Chain A
Amino acid sequence: DVKVTQSSRYLVKRTGEKVFLECVQDMDHENMFWYRQDPGLGLRLIYFSYDVKMKEKGDIPEGYSVSREKKERFSLILESASTNQTSMYLCASSAVGQGSYEQYFGPGTRLTVT
């Protein structure tokens, strides 16, 4: 079974703090993704990566950055957390090759910025 793990289930940070969210997948997937999920807005793509050290902006990259130094690990960084970044953050991964590229998700990190 594909397993995607995220470093924290719940996180509380103060405005202005630098926040690191880490995601690890154990299936040797090339692609990794960070989403945020808010009521009524669905899942919105923040950043994604299709290879080590490669990254692309998604639909809402402002206020975020990412790092992928190893294939299995993809980090989301909030340089200076703000209250409007309070949300559920979901990491996902997918394989490359023949087939459907379905994404497999981690359990999520509920971040509260106060």
Chain B
Amino acid sequence: EDQVTQSPEALRLQEGESSSLNCSYTVSGLRGLFWYRQDPGKGPEFLFTLYSAGEEKEKERLKATLTKKESFLHITAPKPEDSATYLCAVQPISSGSARQLTFGSGTQLTVLP
């Protein structure tokens, strides 16, 4: 069974204090790993897709990396507007024609001014 575990569940940072969020996964074969951002009361917003170990993607203060067992979302010098829940999802090779995703429970990030 495919599993995605995110840690920590919640993280509080001071503005400018860099940190990393972790996404550990267990799948029979990985087609892709996805990161989303979700603001309270809204739908998730797509951030990145990673396909293979060693791959990195960047967007503003966010950088996502991938190994064979986990992914990290690094946040450099965060600002209060980076506060959100960050979701990780995997797309197994075994997913059908619709390429469905399995999501983790998310990390709730709070950046204090």
**Interface SS majority for chain B:** loop
| CB–CB B105/A40 < 8 A | yes
Rounded to whole angstroms, the CA-CA distance of A48 and B100 in the bound complex is 8
| CB–CB A50/B43 < 8 A | no
Interface string of A70-114 (1 = CB under 8 A from B): 000000000000000000001010101000111111111010000
**Interface SS majority for chain A:** strand
Rounded to whole angstroms, the CA-CA distance of A110 and B87 in the bound complex is 19
A18 to chain B, nearest CB (A): 24
Rounded to whole angstroms, the CA-CA distance of A40 and B103 in the bound complex is 12
| CB–CB A43/B87 < 8 A | yes
B113 interface residue (CB < 8 Å to A): no
Q: Quick one: which of B31, B43, B49, B89 contacts A107, CB cutoff 8 A?
A: B43
B78 interface residue (CB < 8 Å to A): no
Residues of B within 8 A of A4 (CB): 43
Segment from B58-66, B68-76, B90-98 that makes contact with A? B90-98
Rounded to whole angstroms, the CA-CA distance of A40 and B105 in the bound complex is 6
| CB–CB A42/B98 < 8 A | no
Q: Can you sample 20 A-B contacts with CB below 8 Å?
A: A31-B99, A33-B98, A42-B87, A42-B104, A43-B44, A48-B98, A48-B100, A49-B98, A50-B96, A50-B97, A101-B31, A101-B91, A101-B99, A103-B34, A103-B101, A105-B36, A105-B43, A105-B45, A106-B43, A108-B43
* Interface of A toward B, CB cutoff 8 Å: 4, 30-31, 33, 40-45, 48-50, 56, 58, 90, 92, 94, 96, 100-108, 110
